[in-house]
Amino acid sequence: AHGVARPAAPLSTFLVGFAAARNGGTAADIEQACATATGLALEWAKTHPTETR
């Protein structure tokens, strides 16, 4: 959750679980959904640096 607003964590977790379930819900589906979400978050972090307040 570092670098991303913590309130987004529950929604992100839900969406990963939902995507995995839609694809079958196997361990491999969960791993793929997690990898996809992680990749998207890392890419977003590169293009949207954290602002300091």
Distances (CA, A) of 36 to 41, 50, 52, 53: 9, 21, 27, 30
Q: Are 42 and 52 a contacting pair, CB within 8 Å?
A: no
Q: What is the pLDDT of residue 4?
A: 58
pLDDT digits (tens, 9 = 90+) for 1-53: 455 567 778 898 999 999 999 999 999 999 999 999 999 988 988 888 775 54
In angstroms, rounded to a whole number, what is the distance separating the alpha carbons of residues 20 and 44? 21
Q: What is the pLDDT of residue 51?
A: 59
Q: Which residues of 10-48 are buried (b: 16+ CB within 10 A; e: fewer)?
A: eebeeebeebbeeeeeeeeebebbeeebeeeeeeeeeee
